[in-house]
Amino acid sequence: MKPWPSLSTLKLDHQTGWLTIWLHRPEVRNALSAQMVSELMETLERVAQDAGLRGVTIRGHGGVFCAGGDIKDFKATMQGQDLATVRASSLRAGELFERINSLPQVVLMLVEGPAMAGGMGMVCAGDVVAVTADASFALTEVTLGIPPAQIAPYVVNRLGLRTARRLMLTAARFGAEEALQMGMADHLAADAAGLETFEAGIKTAVTRCAPGANAVTKRILLATQRLEGESMRALAADGFAHCMLDDEGREGVAAFLEKRKPAWNTQAKPPLLD
């Protein structure tokens, strides 16, 4: 596989089976610009096609996760444009959050310092979230006269409608302890070293799981947000049947019965579900 590229707003650290994506605009607290959105999309599209990657970590450089959207970039690239242009830019941001949400691999968010507005939305699109004691959060869009539009589904899915209403309509700020209590964070660490210890445990746990089964499980989980009844049962049955008869399912069952560790093929594509 070709080397991971050098990017202007991100730093990529590729270890065996895992990619760490560092948001890297320290001069503006890692704010999301149009360029960063484009580079994140490009990177995540490649991740989605790489069966050898078991997971992705997203974190911010310099002790800050992400200050949200780049307001100067908003003014320069959106205000003064026509409605269709601004709408297209919003849709592009929405595609980024959905790409994070639906990535076949496990997505781990490690949060130090502020994760504001779109930064908090990005966190809510991840699978597992760990925060440091100095982490802070707010959905501040309405204080700028704009809605937290594209991140709303991910905040609601992670926190529930009641909590999302309170946070979005009041721009309330809260810290790491409250994030843990409300279910946004899965783990609270004292500092960056604690985050990395937690990350190591997640990586170990993920490597025990079959990569294709994890990908199909994510599809089933996400489908619960849009399907119900017979349609949901059919999707779940398709996923189960494909995995049971796939090489992974055969290897997993055999390993259990033979009392050995399974040997997962990390280069195989997950079973396709129509």
Q: Give yes or no for residue 249 having a pLDDT over 60.
A: yes
What confidence tens digit (pLDDT) does each residue in 3-41 have?
888 899 999 999 999 999 999 999 999 999 999 999 999
**Angstrom distance (rounded) from CA 94 to CA 21:** 19
Instruction: Decide if 102 contacts 215 (C-beta within 8 A).
Output: no
CB atoms within 10 A of CB 34: 18
Per-residue pLDDT, 7: 95
Question: Coil, strand or helix: which one is 184?
Answer: coil
- Residues 23, 61 contacting (CB under 8 angstroms): yes
Q: Supply the mean pLDDT for the chain.
A: 95
Do 182 and 160 touch, CB atoms closer than 8 A? no
What sign for the dihedral angle of Cα 12, 151, 157, 238?
A: negative
Per residue in 156-206, pLDDT (tens digit) is: 999 999 999 999 999 999 999 999 999 999 999 999 999 999 999 999 999
Query: What was the pLDDT predicted at 108?
Result: 98
Residue 268: pLDDT band (50, 70, 90) is: confident
* Interval 180-192: pLDDT, tens: 999 999 999 999 9
The tens digit of pLDDT for each residue in 216-225 reads 999 999 999 9
* Residue linked to tokens 């990535």: 103
Q: Residue 212 — pLDDT band, cuts 50, 70, 90?
A: very high
Mean pLDDT of 115-143: 98
CB-based contact 118:140 (threshold 8 Å): no
Q: Cβ(100)–Cβ(174) under 8 Å?
A: no
H/E stretch holding 230 reads helix 229-245
* Crossing angle (nearest 10°) for helices 247-257 and 229-245: 70
Under the banding of pLDDT at 50, 70 and 90, the label for residue 75 is confident
Q: Are 60 and 66 in contact (CB under 8 A)?
A: yes
Six-digit token string for 216: 């199909």
Task: Name the DSSP letter for residue 256.
Answer: H
| Contacts of 88 by beta carbon, 8 Å cutoff, 6+ apart | none
**Cα gap 174→49, rounded to integer Å:** 37
pLDDT at 77: 82
Is the pLDDT at 1 greater than 70? The verdict is: no
Residue 21 DSSP label: E
In the chain, where the domains are located: 10-207, 210-257
At 271, the pLDDT band (50, 70, 90 cuts) reads low
CB 213 within 8 A of CB 246: no
CB of 211 within 8 A of CB of 270?
A: yes
Query: In terms of DSSP bridges, do strands 136-138 and 173-175 run parallel, antiparallel, or are they unpaired?
Result: antiparallel
Collapse the DSSP code of 207 into the 3-class scheme (helix H, G, I; strand E, B; otherwise coil) and give the result: helix
pLDDT score at 270: 67
Fold (topology level) of 10-207: 2-enoyl-CoA Hydratase; Chain A, domain 1 (3.90.226)
Burial of 185 (0-12, 13-18, 19+ CB in 10 A): buried
Half-sphere exposure of 244 (CA within 13 A, CB side): 6
Whole-angstrom Cα distance, residue 268 to residue 248?
Answer: 9
230: confidence class by pLDDT, cuts 50, 70, 90: very high
Question: pLDDT > 70: what percent of the chain?
Answer: 98
Distances (CA, A) of 27 to 32, 51, 62, 64, 93: 12, 34, 10, 11, 21
Residue 148 has pLDDT above 90, yes or no: yes
What CATH class does 210-257 carry?
A: mainly alpha
